Amino acid sequence: MTALLSIRDLTVTYRRDGSEVAALKHVSLDVAAGERFAIIGESGSGKSTLALAIAGLLPQSTRIGGRIDWLGRDHAPLGGRDIGFVFQDPSASLDPVMAIGEQIAEVAHTHLGLTWSQSYAKAKSLLERVRLPEPDAALRAYPHQLSGGQKQRVAIAAAIAAGPKLLIADEATSALDTIVQAEIVALIRHLVAEDGMTLLFVSHDIALAAELAERIAVFRHGQLVELGATAQIIASPGDAYTRALLDAHLGLDAEPLLQQAGASG
Amino acid sequence: MSSPLLAVSGLTRRYRGGDKTIAAVDDVSFHIEPGETLALAGPSGSGKSTIARLLLRLIEPDAGHIEFEGGDFLSLNGTALRARRARLQMVFQDPLAAFNPRASVARVIDDPLRIHGIASRKERPRRIAALLERVGLSADLAARAIHEVSGGQRQRIAIARAIATNPSLIVLDEAVSALDVSVRRQILQLLLDLQREERIAYLFISHDLGVISAIAHRVVILDAGRVAESGDARAVIGAPQSAIGKALVAAAPKLNRTSTQGPADRQ
Amino acid sequence: MSPLRRFLRTPEAIAGAIILVALFAMALAAPLFFPGDPQAIAGAALLPPFQDWSLPLGTDRLGRDVLAELFHGARTSLAVGLAAAAAALVVGAIVGTLAGFAGGLVDEVLMRVTDAFQTVPGFLLALAFVSVVGPSLGVVIAAIVLGAWTGPARVARAEVLSIRERDFVAGARVIGMHPLEIAFREVLPNALPPVLALSSVIVAAAILTEAALSFLGLGDPNRVTWGGMIAEGRAVLRTAPFLSIIPGVALVLTVLGVYLAGEGVVETTAVRRNLS
């Protein structure tokens, strides 16, 4: 297994109004090239901060300690070209007054040096790849004309337009209902396999992550709690917090919390 | 059997979308017994939240009847409607958006007590403290501003506010969807405790079948504004008959904790 | 960082604050420095400034102390400006909130009334009102409010229209709160910030309108006003231009100070909103 990136002793501190908040504390981990890696945690765990730090998207005022090393490349990765990022809220990451085709074509034009007509052809083929119905019409559509799931498909198309090595999905399915969520997860799995991308899947939902990822890192209060192969984390978690997360999951087969006797029927 | 707590029949609400009208809720009927949890499930756009807003009279239906505690709920207006609202409460999905951003914790719980004349001005601080403790919070929290408390605490405060007027039915609109999993479980437990002790009925709106199968007695599955199927929650989720029911069950993330196998297509 | 320190970070805000502080000091100190009637004769007529140090800014045609008049005029300008702006904001916020929250027929009627007031120039409205009712401080303030409340009303309505769709308003209805309480206790306070951002413009405009009314002889005759002083000086504009220039400069500085300080406040609150 060749490593794609290596994180050593990463500490991230946000500064706001004179006070400092440590969002990540001494995190070290490696991500292998081509693997599907999940980062799991509840709110305040630092999981999104880690994703932003890897993508180089932290605000200027943030203090960053430790190292993030990209192995096997001679230059620092460029957001948009080497890293695709899909955010939780697709409405926030898409420009509301720009046609969808243009938004995707712009990525291809900027990072791949294609002409505009080549870029639009690329945009159309990307919309086909993310299985948006009627890609020709969609090129000219605006974000508000699409449903939440369709917008997330467009955001994914824009994220992979420049052929990145790493795709980061930060709670990319949390705002969607279960059915659309399952479709988007299937789409991400398919695209990552087809292009040989590395996937960083950030989520609060350990069951969802377990369906997609080969390895899982569990975060809590800015610290890495546990890291391991999915099957091992799920079947025999080493940390009490991981076990608590698994126990808190309410699956279809979970024990009912309800005492049926409480019903008056 | 006595008459149900809530009986909804033929409920319809249309929206004008361009030049055609779309029925967000289309001829929906269901009923809720006292002390029962009925879940409304369905994908986004299936009409779940519209039904919640119709029941609370936040919007008015184009057709249908709502009978609540034996009376015609849709015929109430003005003072009579406001007084009746004490018995039918709601908890919203986003506990931050559901409160006036300028309010304190004490004020959001004080409002229903004051409006419905439940306690005298002198007695109300004690009632607020008791309600906070009832939902598992410290009474000291009363002095804080709403934006200063955590998401889980805020949802407990929303529940305290909802039970302040001693309601017989609470509509929970995706009330645990925005919470962390560990907090979610505690809130569900709190809801069940309240139900057992006070015989409150819930209309539990969610797209998460896992949560529904854990706490609901019965479920109504909606698709495009219509009832696709309904019945005992665990029976329906265990063997769905409708296409949308099958799709919802198939899409729910499953955690296989005994297997040593990883994802199916692992290389 | 405290709001005050953040406010004083921009040079505009500092300049505006200095001018306004000086103005308030003048207004408050007027009865201390110049206890008598400022309209009483203090010396020879038309004494130029900087000649007699007991009358540093000279005297007007009737021999009244210009500096004393300037100090007392500051009282009138500030009183009228602040009172008119406060009244305009209150009336506008109430009308806008009622229109936006009630919707339907109430909204239609209130907004057509607003249109009607807005199509007539505010100054003409004030002029007509004072001419009919007669000049006094209260009437002048009311006259200025007639033309100034429409802006705040429109801003408040637009803000209320978006706020009333928020969940917490639905929540207030669910607990059975009376619509009027929802409108004025839940919605209005949250709609206020952009309305208050208008206040500096309204204060400045009110001060100018008051000066213009006084210039035309429609100010309160029992009070010294800067507009009245300019009008007084007009008759001797060639021989004693300082009689018009001094109150004119005071007026310009005041309006400038109000604008600059208002900009500073808007900037400060904008920064705070970005942070939160």
How do residues B158-211 score in pLDDT, each as one tens digit?
A: 999 999 999 999 999 999 988 888 889 899 999 999 999 999 999 999 988 999
Of residues A92 and A139, the one with the higher pLDDT is A139
Q: What is the pLDDT of residue B267?
A: 40
Locate tokens 């390895």: which residue? Answer: A215
pLDDT band for position B262 (50/70/90)? very low
Residues of C in contact with B53 (CB under 8 A): 170
Give me the residue label for tokens 């429109």.
C154
Nearest chain C residue to A16 by CA distance is C275
> pLDDT tens digit string along B72-128?
999 999 999 999 999 999 999 888 899 999 899 999 999 999 999 999 999 999 999
pLDDT digits (tens, 9 = 90+) for C129-176: 999 998 899 999 999 999 999 999 999 999 999 999 999 999 999 999
Residue A103: pLDDT band (50, 70, 90) is very high
Selected residue of B100, B115, B116 to mutate for chain C interface (largest C Cβ count, 10 A): B100
> What is the value of pTM for the model shown?
0.86
Chain C contact for B92, CB < 8 A?
A: yes
CA B96 centroid distance within chain: 16
Residue C1 has pLDDT above 60, yes or no: no
Phi/psi at C205 (5° precision): -65, -40
Residue-wise over B15-28: b if at least 16 C-beta within 10 A, else e? eeeeeeeebbbbeb
Interval C206-215 mean pLDDT: 93
Q: What interface predicted TM-score (ipTM) does this complex get?
A: 0.90
Give the pLDDT of residue A75. Answer: 66
pLDDT confidence band for C272 (50 / 70 / 90): low
Q: Hey, are the CB atoms on B116 and C178 less than 8 Å from each other?
A: no
Q: Mean per-residue pLDDT for A155-172?
A: 93
Contacts of B100 in chain C (CB under 8 A): 168, 172, 186, 190
Strands (E), B51-87: 63-68, 71-72
Interface of A with C (CB under 8 A): 16-18
> Tell me, what's the pLDDT at B1?
52
Comparing CB atoms, the residue among C168, C170, C176 nearest residue B115 is: C176
**Least CB–CB distance from B249: residue in A180, A212, A252:** A252
Contact (Cβ atoms closer than 8 angstroms) between residue A216 and residue A230: yes
CB-based contact B97 C177, cutoff 8 Å: no
Query: Judged by CB atoms within 8 Å, which residues 216-275 of C form the interface with A?
Result: 275
d(CA A104, CA B171): 42
Distance between CA atoms of residues B74 and B81, nearest Å: 9
For tokens 């908040």, name the residue: A21
* Nearest Cβ partner for C190 among B85, B86, B102: B102
Q: Strand B218-223 vs strand B226-232: parallel, antiparallel, or unpaired?
A: antiparallel
CB A152 within 8 A of CB A87: no
The first and second tokens of residue B218, run together, are 């019965």
State chain B's mean pLDDT as an integer: 92
Confidence label for B261 from pLDDT (cuts 50, 70 and 90) = very low
User: Average pLDDT in the A209-235 region?
Assistant: 95
Return the residue of A nearest to C1 by Cα: A17
Task: Give the mean model confidence (pLDDT) for residues B140-166.
Answer: 94
Within an 8 Å CB–CB cutoff, is residue C41 touching chain A?
no
Residues of C with CB under 8 A from a CB of B: 166-168, 170-178, 186, 189-190
pLDDT for residue A126: 94
- What Rg, from alpha-carbon coordinates, does chain B have? 20
Close Cβ partners of C32 (under 8 Å, ≥ 6 residues apart): none
Q: What percent of chain C has pLDDT over 90?
A: 63
Residue C96, min C-alpha distance to chain A (Å): 30
User: Taking CA atoms, what residue in C is nearest to B146?
Assistant: C168
Percent of chain C beyond pLDDT 70?
A: 96
User: From the list C167, C176, C189, which residue is nearest B98 (CB)?
Assistant: C167
For A195-200, what is the mean pLDDT? 94
Element holding A139 (H helix, E strand) = helix A135-140
Radius of gyration (Cα) for chain C, nearest Å?
22
